[in-house]
Structure 1
Amino acid sequence: MSDPVTILVDADACPVKEEVYRVAQRHKAHVRVVSNSPFRVPVSERVKRVVVSDGFDAADDWIADNAGPRSVVITADILLAERCLKAGANVLRHNGKPFDAASIGSAIATRAIMEDLRAGMDGVGGGPPPFSKADRSNFLQALDRVLVKLGK
């Protein structure tokens, strides 16, 4: 029997933690909820809260250091996604769109362009679109697909 799949959740500002717990339970996957401050997590042998220091990128560092071929990382952080892809992990955004080798380069470039645009706007701007029911549904389907693939 191979090692269990572990879902690593970049928990700060993650809108799909409850969905992760449900899908993980169905697939008997382990979950690590990583954050700088405590979050309530379900009482389960498979679900563990990992509270790191509030140092810059401490949660990202923990996730990247623990990511690998038998893990699924849930994050919106493009630079963390890149680090985890290099470690062989599967990486999903909160809306279910995967980060992969083909998309990470353009995502990093877009991030840099948007950062430059925001810098010139003096705090005026919209940010990402609101999280929708369709995003939640897409995420559930994407996570299920990845866990089925890793379970084979």
Structure 2
Amino acid sequence: MARVRIYLDGDSCPVKVREVIFRAAERREVPVYVVHQGRLQLPQGPWIKPVKLPPAPGAADAYILTHAKPWHLVVTRDIPLAAELVERGVPVINDRGTEFTRENVRERLSARHAMKQLRELGLVKTRSRFSHRELRAFAAVFDRVLTRLLGESG
């Protein structure tokens, strides 16, 4: 049976979310491939696999798209990447606890494009707040999806 693994789009992922993922990886013995282009402080351990890429546009997305399979889990806040992965049958969640599906990822992609246009026109300024509530939501969804994948893998 295929082995479950986690791909983490690491550059934009909050530290607290990474900590949840790393603890689960150790506890469940699931490798986490931390795909990044910038500097990240990562703990040492047999289940944490840093994937440092050169600073080229789209390099992290290309790596994840090339390697992620339907029995893997991807954690990213990149909605276009999530949309492409979901179309390929790869489970994807974001750092706020949303599991992307074929039904909701298109809506999120449309909302992202609309917000981008509003920001470019100077009509909207966004602030990203990450609270304990979002961390709890992430942990719950992450655990549920990872448990499902581990059950399916045998």
TM-score (norm 1): 0.91
Question: What is the CA distance between 1:33 and its match in structure 2?
Answer: 0.5
Gaps of 5+ in 1: none
1:71-115 CA-partner distances (Å, limit 9, x unpaired): 111111100101211232111110111111110111111111111
Q: Are the counterparts in 2 of residues 73 and 89 from structure 1 also a CA contact under 8 Å?
A: yes
Query: Which consecutive segments of 4 or more residues in structure 1 shift more than 4 A?
Result: none
Which AA in structure 1 matches 2:141? A
In 2, the alpha carbon distance for the partners of 1:19 and 1:4 equals 20
Say if 1:4 and 1:30, in contact at 8 Å, map to a contact too.
no
* Alignment match, 2:13: 14
Give the 3 Å change call, closer, same or farther, for CA 118–76 of structure 1 in structure 2.
same
Alpha-carbon offset, residue 128 of structure 1: 4.2
More helix by share: 2
Measured in 2, the distance between the counterparts of 1:37 and 1:115 equals 24
Q: Aligned-residue CA RMSD in angstroms? A: 1.4
State the aligned residue count.
149
8 Å CA contact retained: 1:31, 1:46: yes
Separation (CA, whole Å) in 2 of partners of 1:52 and 1:19: 23
Deviates more, 1:19-28 or 1:47-56: 19-28
Distance 1:61 1:33, change over 3 A: same
Q: Where in structure 2 are the equivalents of 1:35-114 lying within 5 Å?
A: 35-114=36-115
